Structure 1
Amino acid sequence: MNKHVTGKPAQTAASEEDVIRLSDVRRRFGATPALDGVSLDVRRGEILGIIGRSGAGKSTLIRCLNGLERPDSGTIEIEGREITGLSEAELQPLRRRIGMIFQHFNLLSAKTVEENVALPLKIEGWAKAKRLARAAELLDLVGLTGKAKAYPSELSGGQKQRVGIARALAASPALLLSDEATSALDPETTRSILALLKDINRKLGLTILLITHEMEVVRNIADRVTVLDAGRIVEEGPVWQVFSRPQAETTKSLLSGIRPQLPAHIAQSLTADIAGEAILSLDIAGPAATGPLFQKLSEEFPGGYRLVHGGVDHIQEQAVGRFFIAVPADAAARLVSFAERLGAQVEVLGHVADHA
């Protein structure tokens, strides 16, 4: 399995900083493995994105974390407590340490905004004055001061999700689980919700686990990303690292919409015939991405290559570059070797007639 090195403690070394700790978790539905040996830890205060195609196991994972699904084998620890053998009654205090926000908000239409936010505290037996005071505090935190007496039908989608976030924070959880929480929102509203989650993460030191199929969500706020495919982790690491140099084919496919791609008319003309020009992809990240890559290439190959497509982005304050260049076929091997010495990851994609 291709995995980025993350610098995390080994899975066998328990850490007081781990809010979530999974070890070899397996869950099958009939003959289909939904989770197939998942080992994962999430540090306190971290934002972890879990991405994968439909059916990859994301929903099963989140249901195992909140005790709605029981794994067939393996262990799950929340704040150091193993939960897989707990009874429903024993799970209830644990669930109060976990907040949940959902794609479709799950607000009670007959209750006001403040009543929705305060509902978990009412269930816990808090006095009315105390729980309404807490609701007011949280509504201020999520930018909904003045909406306490409104009903969900009077709110926009983004406002509803802010209420959902406030409700999830009511009992001061250690962990916030976000299950496709921005999928029903427009791009502008999504950005505002992500900014809010990042702000809450900073202010409260809250650990957040994001289940999503939206790569931009992970790119914008996650510290680390884990890629699931057919119930297995196929790649994980810091977001900038995984997004700049994805190793697993699943990751490459998922990221194709937000990473520069070879223009279609050139991709369609690629052949395996070693003639004309070789088309190369160069992935480069970190300090090397802002270094004199093309200056040095020009010095080494004067007039011998041309830039086809690409550019530099920034993820987690790291420069991330992806470029496609064309070079005479007989110079391709030498250019690959030279670019790799400059820190680039290079792949020969194929060959085209000159100046395709």
Structure 2
Amino acid sequence: MRDVRRKFGQTPAIDGVTLSVSRGEILGIIGRSGAGKSTLIRCVNGLEQPDSGSIRIEGQEITGLDERALRPMRRRIGMVFQHFNLLSAKTVAQNIALPLKIAGQPKEARRKRVAELLDLVGLNDKAGHYPSQLSGGQKQRVGIARALAAEPALLLSDEATSALDPETTQSILALLKDINKKLGLTILLITHEMDVIRRIADRVIVLDRGRIVEEGPVWKVFANPQAPVTQSLLQVLAPTLPAFWAERLSPAINDMAIVRVNLSGDTARRPFFNELTAASGLATQLIHGGMDTIQGEPVGTIFIALPARDAEKFSAAIAHLNTHADAAEVLGYVSGDD
């Protein structure tokens, strides 16, 4: 996509978006409701024509194509929906076979492909079932199988796990990751859930009011979010200072400073507390927080208490944190007698 714009009335839904997706990549696109995510995905599959800009898929320009010219390109794009969009009067096998039937494939070829896909999504025993007989997770597996029927190069997932419970969400995300690895399938993942991005995306783009406000490898964006909207979206996953400490905080310098520290990558692999003590001469108390692993990289937020009465040593500690951590912020001070 290059400088893609789409307005509805005077309101820009997509406002100059430029991005590229590599073959075999899982790109997560996240933003609040109204950020432009759904409009963006509709532009990619040709359901929405941008007002200006260029969209190329596998080198072919799709903007400006009429419905007839778009059909071959749409066969290269699979779509997975939030509410499954299965045909209730057709069996699982018939739902999966529908794109192949529309494309004019012979019956035996359709039967063989459906069997392959049922095996891929783990529903071999459900071929003759109807959607009403399936759980939400099973329905989404059928939706994924149907999206893969025509062997697309690109899979568009529009809030595919939003209607599912947490356990089922994890199984669907694991399936998408497995399909990505087995088939080398490119996946464009639209979601408002940061946890979905964290679990399977390679790279993330954050949309706000139709514009890209932040992008990068998932672990880097999670480790040190720059845009306010990214920071807000990550709040639900990031550790917060427990009330026991938060209620005691004061802006006045006292015995102990409470400091929030973001760590990731090589810095998080080092002996953090030993190095901080060596640089400042201060003993550090860990009071809350934790580390995660994203894309093989350690990422985390911790809260520490640092003695603050010795101004020189305290300044040395803060200088060390500002140099070696992704981010460090003094949240306030507490008395050692509390």
Shared fold (TM-score, shorter chain, > 0.5) = yes
Partner of 2:136: 157
Does residue 345 in structure 1 map to residue 322 in structure 2? no
Matches within 5 A, 1:303-342: 303-327=282-306, 328=308, 330=311, 331-341=313-323
Residue 289 of structure 1, aligned match among 264, 268, 271: 268
Residue 312 (structure 1) shift: 1.4
Residue 303 (structure 1) shift: 4.4
| Distance across 2 between alignment mates of 1:233 and 1:332 | 39
Residue 302 (structure 1) shift: 4.0
Matches within 5 A, 1:1-356: 22-267=1-246, 270-327=249-306, 328=308, 330=311, 331-341=313-323, 343-355=324-336
**Which secondary structure does the structure 2 equivalent of 1:43 belong to?**
coil
Residue 346 (structure 1) shift: 2.9
Contact 2:224 2:327 in 1 (8 A): no
| Distance across 2 between alignment mates of 1:267 and 1:88 | 58
Contact 1:180 1:211 in 2 (8 A): yes
> 1:6-32, CA deviations, whole angstroms, 9 ceiling, x for partnerless residues?
xxxxxxxxxxxxxxxx11111111222
| Distance across 2 between alignment mates of 1:110 and 1:236 | 43
Q: CA RMSD, aligned part only? A: 1.7
> 1:263-310, CA deviations, whole angstroms, 9 ceiling, x for partnerless residues?
245445545445554332211111220211101112334445432311
Moved more, 302-311 or 53-62: 302-311
Contact 1:33 1:230 in 2 (8 A): yes
Identity %: 63
Counterpart of 1:28, as a letter, is: K
TM-score, scaled to structure 2: 0.94
| Distance across 1 between alignment mates of 2:21 and 2:315 | 42
Q: Give aligned pairs, total.
A: 334
> 1:245-269, CA deviations, whole angstroms, 9 ceiling, x for partnerless residues?
1111111110111121222454455
TM-score, scaled to structure 1: 0.89
The alpha-carbon distance between structure 1 residues 350 and 93, as it changes in their structure 2 partners (threshold 3 A), is same
Contact 1:111 1:151 in 2 (8 A): yes
The alpha-carbon distance between structure 1 residues 273 and 24, as it changes in their structure 2 partners (threshold 3 A), is farther
Contact 1:280 1:346 in 2 (8 A): no
The alpha-carbon distance between structure 1 residues 256 and 53, as it changes in their structure 2 partners (threshold 3 A), is same
Contact 1:336 1:346 in 2 (8 A): no
**Which secondary structure does the structure 2 equivalent of 1:68 belong to?**
coil
| Distance across 2 between alignment mates of 1:314 and 1:229 | 27
Residue 207 (structure 1) shift: 0.1
Moved more, 274-283 or 33-42: 274-283
Contact 2:250 2:334 in 1 (8 A): no
Structure 2 residue runs without a partner (length 5+) = none
